[in-house]
Amino acid sequence: MHSDAADFQLNSHLSTLASIHKIYHTLNRLNLTEDVSQDTHSTACCSRAMPPRKKRRPTAGDELYVKKSRHDGVYRKQETSRVKSDDVFSTKRCLEWFYEYAGCDDVVGPEGMEKFCEDIGVEPENVVMLVLAWKLDAQSMGYFTLQEWLKGMSDLQCDSTEKLRNSLDYLRSVLNEATNFKLIYRYAFDFAREKDQRSLDLNTARCMLGLLLGKTWPLFPVFNHFLEQSKYKVINKDQWCNVLEFSRTISLDLSNYDEDGAWPVLLDEFVEWYKERQMS
């Protein structure tokens, strides 16, 4: 009996363990089934919400747009390249420009100079032409040699009529700087005189003085009249340079003029003549 009771208890215990194992296995299977169901449901929802994308075939309009974009890109590159090329100084272009006025010669003479002035819109007697000649270091009035042209225009970075026109305001502004003005004033004497003469003939001197001092020296009209009625036929370089110094340092009433100073006789005579006119 004791053995039978033990067997019963053992069987009962095994049965219980089997039941527990069965229940655990069942729950585990149920959990697995639920997870799979959820994943399947989620995938199905996504599939319904976002259908697979189909590759769109390009239309004729798309192809035309692409071709036009490529064409515009190439055109912009070419245009940018051309603009940059035009901005850079070209010796070849400068030479071609020179020979428009020089013809078959290596110098621009009076006829070519007249056409040149007409093209840039400046009168030959305009002071800006004197400044340009100074920039080119031209040696003779009314002439530009090939060497002068190339060196001067290269310094100005001008190789066409348009570029020089755009530089005219700069050339005029050069006169506003006192040191540059003095250099140009001194240059004008040698530029305008005959190369076999040491002095400047009076008529040319008066024209050049009018060009340089006519608008800035209030006494110029009176001084010009003095020269016109004077005995002088030429102006030497010392007299020329002292006229500029006189115009800058002597007051309009001449009260600070020192007759015992180192002024040339020409200016002593002008002061005396002017005071006599004032008294009369």
In this prediction, residue 265 carries a pLDDT of: 97
For 8-28, write each residue's pLDDT tens digit. 554 454 455 445 545 554 455
Q: Which residue has the higher pLDDT, 47 or 67?
A: 67
Residues near 35 by beta carbon (within 8 Å), at least 6 away in sequence: none
For 238-247, write each residue's pLDDT tens digit. 999 999 999 9
Superfamily the domain 91-174 falls into:
EF-hand (1.10.238.10)
Domain ranges of the chain: 91-174, 178-279
Residue 35 banded pLDDT, cuts 50, 70, 90: very low
Q: Give me the mean pLDDT over the 151-176 stretch.
A: 97
Q: How far apart (Å, rounded) are the C-alpha atoms in residues 155 and 135?
A: 8
Superfamily the domain 178-279 falls into:
Cullin, PONY binding domain (1.10.238.200)
What's the token pair of residue 268? 């002593």
Q: How far apart (Å, rounded) are the C-alpha atoms in residues 42 and 32?
A: 16
Q: How far apart (Å, rounded) are the C-alpha atoms in residues 45 and 279?
A: 116
Closest CA relative to residue 87, chosen from 168, 167, 163: 163
pLDDT-above-70 percentage for the chain: 69
For the cut 60, the answer to whether the pLDDT of residue 1 exceeds it is no
| Mean pLDDT, rounded, of the chain | 82
In this prediction, residue 279 carries a pLDDT of: 87
pLDDT-above-90 percentage for the chain: 66
In this prediction, residue 69 carries a pLDDT of: 58
Residue 46 banded pLDDT, cuts 50, 70, 90: very low
What's the token pair of residue 259? 């007759």
Reported pTM? 0.69
Residue 280 banded pLDDT, cuts 50, 70, 90: confident
Q: Give me the mean pLDDT over the 80-104 stretch.
A: 84
What's the token pair of residue 10? 């053992």
Q: Are domains 91-174 and 178-279 of this chain identical in fold?
A: yes
Burial of 222 (0-12, 13-18, 19+ CB in 10 A): middle
Q: Give me the mean pLDDT over the 125-143 stretch.
A: 96
Q: Give me the mean pLDDT over the 154-180 stretch.
A: 97
Closest CA relative to residue 113, chosen from 123, 75, 104: 123
Residue 74 banded pLDDT, cuts 50, 70, 90: low
Q: Identify the H or E element spanning 145.
A: strand 144-145
In this prediction, residue 87 carries a pLDDT of: 83
For the cut 90, the answer to whether the pLDDT of residue 6 exceeds it is no
For the cut 50, the answer to whether the pLDDT of residue 231 exceeds it is yes
